[in-house]
Amino acid sequence: LKTFDTTFLNIDEYINHNKIIIYSKTHCPYCKQAKALLADNDYNFQVVELDKLPNGAQIQTALFERTGQKTVPNIFIHGKHIGGCSDLLDIYHDGRFYDYLDNNFQTYDYDLCVIGGGSGGISAAKEAASMNKKVALFDFVTPSQHGTVWGLGGTCVNVGCIPKKLFHRASLLNEEATTSDNFGFHMKKSFTWKTLVDNVQKYIRNLNNNYEKELEKNKIDYFNAKAVFVDKHRVKFAGEERTVSAQNFIIAVGGRPTYPDIPGAHLGITSDDLFSLNKDPGKVLLVGASYIALECAGFLNGLGYDTTVMVRSILLRGFDQDIANMIGEDLESRGVKFIRSHVPTELVAQDKENIIVKAEHTSSKEKYEEVFNTVVFAIGRTACTQDLNLNSLELPVEPNQKLVTKDEKTPVHSVYAVGDVIHNAPELTPVAIKAGKLLVKRIYRKTTEQMNYKLVPTTVFTPLEYGCIGYSETDAKATFKNVVVYHNEYVPLENALESEPRKCYAKLVCDADNGEKVLGFHVLGPNAGEITQGYALGVMLGAYKQDFDALIGIHPTCAEVFTTLSVTKESNKKLESSGC
């Protein structure tokens, strides 16, 4: 930071010879803010403190004649008049600043071009459009290995949360129909896969149309095409020469299911195909042991299909392992079979209907073989960055093809990323939506709120749902010195008339060194997603165990169990579940 101290100033000469020049006054708070912004970011710039120069007033008048601006700071980059402090902040946040530094003052077709019309992309595009920005959105679905394609809205709407929850609902209806006998009903139980698939797909098509209408209403230009980067301000339509340019890009391309690298893998399907499968799945093998495998196992078994899960190591890595194991036991008690410590090594088509699955034990390497009608791979997802030509931006990706970002920024100033494509962020719809909105607000409204990737509530929609927020018991014990765990079993009153009602479970993980601040909230039971969403607010606001104790329960509910937890895990006391 240099202060210009000559008494004679040839304005044009100085403006044209300095990359960044600020005409300032030492006492002016806006000047201080502008100088601090540049100094904090280590940019070299010249300052002319007008109140320190004998001819300062004269210079200010000359500046007014040149720019029409009377006030300070009066800022120039490569000779171009930028304006005052708020103008500098505008160009700094929306990225034009970096172009101006490169002596690039061109304008673009769009303020923002979003690549990917899923949860994150649509939310970001709509937010920018609401600020009167000119926005383009590219969305293109590459057909799955089995030719499945879908419409606008991304994974959540088409092949994720939405169809999954409806299939979960269908399987719960079957369970309720069975237990309704105890309430005096005799419900007819017959299920047609095709009816469920057709109705779910019809509902999804409505959502696709609504998304298109919303883009139109928000004056967002929607291109149903794959975008490929040409440079940091241009993408082209894949397979064409047509390009669009934009000041900024948000990569929100999400991910697709990973296939294992084994012979015959193409015989298996993924969650991309399952919800629109045009034939009864029959006897199903799910490979994987996390969200997708266990949720699909839960509803397929609940719908009456012979269901097996092949587990490589543990269930639900990263989640509370007490509850992960309870989910395993509960699924087994419902009829789901588990092949533990195995991975598939080959799939062979026996005939049109049957697939021979060859597998081996992960340590003994002992061979295993069984025939299934449908094999679903749910072994994680790979980000869709391969076709973006990120080499043209010299943008590196991780082995899982994800982008390393800081505050959703990539190392290329005009390129941001949100959603599943970000390395080390939870792959969840509300995370993508929130991150997209906050990012756009920071770019165009100069806000400072960042996405909180830590306290994210989530739910695994197995037949007994598992909802949680915060630390698992294991992670808490690895991070904090003195952890105390309160827990209990409970039986939902709704299940009380069953001969052997399923036990549900509640757990609070607390920091004993910090007044029993709640570090983790975990619940296994019906509607755990709904329960967790409510309690998550308390945990987010920093609730302590005593706040849960002070809360009056709503009787008779499942959620009230958290107002009466008194048994610590450390006491090894036997848990007594009761209906009331």
Least distance (Å) between residue 271 CB and ligand NDP: 7
Note whether 328 binds ligand FAD by CB under 6 A: no
DSSP for 312-381, please give it. Answer: SS-SSTTS-HHHHHHHHHHHHHHT-EEETTEEEEEEEE-SSS-EEEEEEETTT--EEEEEESEEEE-S-E
Point out the residue whose Cβ comes nearest to ligand NDP.
290
380 binds, among ligand FAD, ligand NDP, none (CB under 5 to 8 A by kind): ligand NDP
289 touches which of ligand NDP, ligand FAD, none (CB within 5 to 8 A by kind)?
ligand NDP
Q: Does 254 bind ligand FAD (CB under 6 A)?
A: yes
Please tell me the distance from the alpha carbon of residue 464 to that of residue 501, in angstroms, as a whole number.
12
d(CA 116, CA 231): 18
Q: Does residue 289 touch ligand NDP according to CB under 6 A?
A: yes
User: Which tokens sit at 42?
Assistant: 């280590």
Question: Does the protein bind ligand FAD through residue 527 (CB under 6 A)?
Answer: no
Q: Other CB atoms closer than 10 Å to residue 193's CB: what's the count?
A: 17
Distance CA 242, CA 411 (A): 26
Among the listed residues 119, 167, 118, 153, the one whose alpha carbon sits nearest the alpha carbon of residue 276? 167
By three-state DSSP, how is residue 197 classified?
helix
Site for ligand FAD in 429-458 (CB under 6 A): 429-430, 432
Q: Shortest distance, CB of residue 356 to ligand NDP, whole angstroms? A: 17
Residue 536 in the binding site for ligand NDP (CB under 6 A): no
Catalytic residue status for 487: no
Q: Which does 288 bind (CB under 5 to 8 A by kind): ligand NDP, ligand FAD, none?
A: ligand NDP
Residue 288 binds ligand NDP, judged by CB under 6 A: yes
Q: Which is nearer to ligand FAD, 200 or 253 (CB)?
A: 253
Per-residue contact flags (x/-) with ligand FAD for residues 193 to 232, judged by CB under 6 A: ---------------------------------xx-----
For ligand FAD, the closer CB: 461 or 562:
461
**Tokens encoding 407:** 């505050």
Of the candidate residues 60, 144, 248, 271, the single one contacting ligand FAD (CB under 6 A) = 271
Q: What's the closest the beta carbon of residue 99 comes to ligand FAD, in angstroms?
A: 24
Question: Binders of ligand FAD: how many residues, by CB under 6 A?
Answer: 37
**Closer by beta carbon to ligand FAD, 82 or else 251:** 251
Residue type, position 505, single letter: Y
Contact criterion met (CB below 8 Å) for 388 and 115: yes
Distances (CA, A) of 300 to 218, 305, 315, 463: 39, 6, 18, 10
Taking CB under 6 A as the rule, does residue 408 contact ligand NDP?
no
- Stretch touching ligand NDP by CB under 6 A, among 129-137, 346-354, 373-381, 499-507: 373-381
Tell me how far the alpha carbon of residue 293 is from its chain's centroid: 19
Q: Which of 237, 240, 207, 206 is nearest to 221 (CA)?
A: 237
First to last CA, the chain: 71
User: Hey, what are 222's tokens?
Assistant: 């929607």
Residue 116's binding partner out of ligand NDP, ligand FAD, none, with CB under 5 to 8 Å set by partner kind = ligand FAD
Residue 219 binds which one of ligand FAD, ligand NDP, none, with CB within 5 to 8 A depending on kind?
none
408 binds ligand FAD (CB under 6 A): no
Return the one option of ligand FAD, ligand NDP, none that residue 468 interacts with (CB less than 5 to 8 A, by type). none
Binding residues for ligand NDP restricted to 312-341, rule: CB under 6 A? 312-314, 317
Q: 515: how many CB neighbours lie within 10 A of its CB?
A: 10
Q: Is 380 in the site for ligand NDP (CB under 6 A)?
A: yes
Q: Residue 5 and residue 14: Cα distance in Å, rounded?
A: 13
Q: How is residue 388 annotated by DSSP? A: G
Nearest one of 303, 304, 294 to 328, comparing CA atoms = 294
Q: Is 446 left (phi over 0), alpha (psi -120 to 50) or beta?
A: left
- Nearest to ligand FAD of 118, 344 (CB atom): 118
| Binding site residues, ligand FAD, CB under 6 A | 115-121, 138-141, 154-156, 159-161, 164, 226-227, 252-254, 271, 292, 384, 387-388, 419-421, 427-430, 432, 461
| Binding site residues, ligand NDP, CB under 6 A | 260, 287-293, 295, 312-314, 317, 343, 378-381, 426-428, 458-461
As annotated, the active-site residues are 555
